[in-house]
Amino acid sequence: MRKHNNKKTVVNCTFSRYLIVMTSKSLNSWHEIQDEVLSRIQAGIWKPGTIIPTENDLAREFECSRATVSRALNALSADGLLDRRRKGGTKVNLNPVRKATLPIPVIREEVEGRGCTYRSLVIEKEKRKPSPAIRAQLSLDADCFVMHVKSLHMADNQPYAFEDRWVNLDVVPDFEQADLTKISANEWLLQNSGFSAGDVAFYALNAGQQEAENLGCREGEALFVLERITQVNGKAITFVRLFYRPGHRISTTL
């Protein structure tokens, strides 16, 4: 049976010093409970570092099942606001906002999402032995071959990002024949190598001669760089450095 009515009562509440009369709603959805808990935290009723009531207590207060409370609290825990542990109870986290979720779109989508026309140019595509540095990054043998691809992503015919990529031909031999004028290396790999895990890093770098020439900027300008190693079934498949044009920002809402 779902309950749809609210009621006003004086609640048996261990936090009574903050409350005189408490409007106790029958909260029937875990979203409502999440919001309620969130606002109590933001209002300072439940302070960072303290333990909040148990699932059973909250279920009684909100007149819903424990599972519903659990779902709401787990959602807040996933957001980093609560710290939950068996026996220990549920604690309001100190330092609440600690995670930024950044979208890492395919560059074509990123460009088109800004309302620009996307185009990519292949600057260089060469099959070769990997350099020691690349061997280390991709955990490769000395005698294998990799494909080295340099390309430029354009937005409305302006350089948007310069890409320097190494592809492990042991894992995706077909990449040697890929026609990168029709589809970017990134998207080819996405479509032909299945799902992947990987590591991403961001940092700032002064533009070298190669980056400056391709992006049309001065040498030494600060570039935002994305570096990524992609793996399939634990085998490194590609290592890529993406040098964005000067002024590029990534942003997100916490």
Partner DNA sequence: TAGTGGTCTAGACCACCCG
Partner DNA sequence: GGGTGGTCTAGACCACTAA
Residues that bind DNA (CB under 7 A): 1-3, 28-31, 54-56, 63-68, 70-71, 73-74, 77, 84-90
Question: From DNA, a copy of itself, none, which one binds at residue 151 (CB under 5 to 8 Å depending on kind)?
Answer: none
> What's the N-to-C CA distance of the chain in angstroms?
37
The yes or no reply on residue 232 touching a copy of itself (CB under 8 A) is: yes
The half-sphere exposure of 229 on its side-chain side, counting CA atoms within 13 A, is: 12
Among 14, 16, 65, 206, binds a copy of itself (CB under 8 A): 206
Amino acid letter, 47: K
Q: Judged by CB, which is closer to a copy of itself: 83, or 221? A: 221
What value does the CA radius of gyration of the chain take, rounded to a whole number of Å?
A: 26
Distances (CA, A) of 161 to 3, 115, 124, 223, 249: 55, 16, 15, 10, 12
Instruction: State which of positions 73-132 bind a copy of itself (CB under 8 A).
Output: 78, 81, 94-106, 109
- Contact between 162 and a copy of itself by CB under 8 A: the answer reads no
Q: Are 102 and 250 in contact (CB under 8 A)?
A: yes
CA angle in degrees (0–180, nearest 5) for 181-184-189: 130
Closest CA to 12 of 21, 3, 2: 21
Question: How far apart are CB 93 and DNA at their closest, in Å?
Answer: 14
Site size toward a copy of itself (CB under 8 A) is 54
The CB-of-56 to DNA minimum distance in angstroms stands at: 6
Are 59 and 74 spatial neighbours (Cβ–Cβ below 8 Å)?
no
Cβ distance to DNA smaller for residue 34 or 214: 34
Q: How far is the CB of 92 from DNA (least distance, A)?
A: 12
Least distance in Å: CB of 232 to a copy of itself?
7
Closer Cβ to a copy of itself, 18 or 202, answer by number: 202
Question: How many other C-beta atoms can be found within 10 angstroms of the C-beta atom of residue 169?
Answer: 18
Three-state secondary structure call for residue 179: coil
Judged by beta carbon distances under 5 to 8 A according to partner kind, the member of DNA, a copy of itself, none in contact with residue 106 is a copy of itself
Residues that bind a copy of itself (CB under 8 A): 38, 41-44, 48, 78, 81, 94-106, 109, 190-191, 194-206, 220-225, 232-233, 246-254
